[in-house]
Amino acid sequence: MSGFAQSLADLPNHQSGLLAVFLLYGLPLSWRSAGPPERAALLTLTGIAAMDLLVLLYANGSALLHLVADGLALSWMLPVALRANRFYPAVIAAALLVAVLAQLLNLLGLTRDAGSVTFLVNGLHLLAVLALLGGSLVHRRIVAEGARRPAWRISLSQG
């Protein structure tokens, strides 16, 4: 990859800190008006951001630990996406799925360029945050109109 693209790939390493700050400030602000799916997504993304920072600080950016963090986040978000009475958790789950696959391929040495994988993974994390932001705003608007919005699908057992 060329120098310009490499510098773009390096940028997200610093973004994870910004993301953590954004989420940690956003958490108490939006917690009260959020429904259970929004809270689950907020906790998941905050967890990823916090783990990213810890891995960066204490484990020298270990690819395996990044994969574990994203894998845990995916295993937490997938049931939420399948059960929630919302659309955006599915977008977050899809973004995490791609992030996990990309990191797994990178760890197995099946990718040509680790920088591109980092760029892709951080871009997907950003997409997940934007999906959460959009979903939370939509939820807030619906609730403000006076409508009650169930958090989960009613007939979970029917598949």
Partner 1 sequence: MAPFQNGFVTSPRLGYSLIQMADVLEQAALLDRLTAKQKEVLGYISDGLTSKEIGRKLGISESAVNQRIETIRQRLGGMPRAQIGRLYRRQSTLMITIPPSNSLTGKTIQLQASRKRAQAWSSEGVVDLAAPDAGEGNDKLQPSNFSSIWNGPGAIWVRLGAIVAMAFGMIAAGVLLLDLIDKLARLLAPNA
Please report, as ranges, the residues that interact with partner 1 according to CB under 8 A: 1-5, 8, 32, 78, 81-82, 85, 87, 90-91, 93-95, 97-98, 101, 116, 119-120, 123-124, 127, 144-150, 153-155, 158-159
Residue 113 DSSP class:
-
Are 106 and 117 in contact, with CB atoms under 8 Å apart? yes
Q: Name which of 8 and 107 has its Cβ closer to partner 1.
A: 8
- Which amino acid type is present at position 43? L
Q: Provide the minimum distance between the beta carbon of 58 and partner 1 in the complex, in angstroms, as a whole number.
A: 29
Output the smallest distance, CB 142 to partner 1, in A. 8
The residue among 2 and 60 lying less far from partner 1, judged by its C-beta, is 2
User: Which residue, 60 or 144, has its beta carbon nearer to partner 1?
Assistant: 144
Q: How far is CA 116 from CA 5, 10, 64, 68, in A?
A: 8, 10, 17, 19
Quick check: 71 and 44 in contact, CB under 8 A?
no
Taking CA atoms, 139 is separated from 12, 98, 153, in Å, by 29, 26, 15
At closest approach, how far in Å is the CB of 57 from partner 1? 27
Angle at CA 124, nearest 5°, toward 46 and 91? 85
The distance of closest approach from Cβ of residue 67 to partner 1 in the complex, given in angstroms and rounded to an integer, is 16
Q: Residue 5 or residue 64: which is nearer to partner 1 going by CB?
A: 5
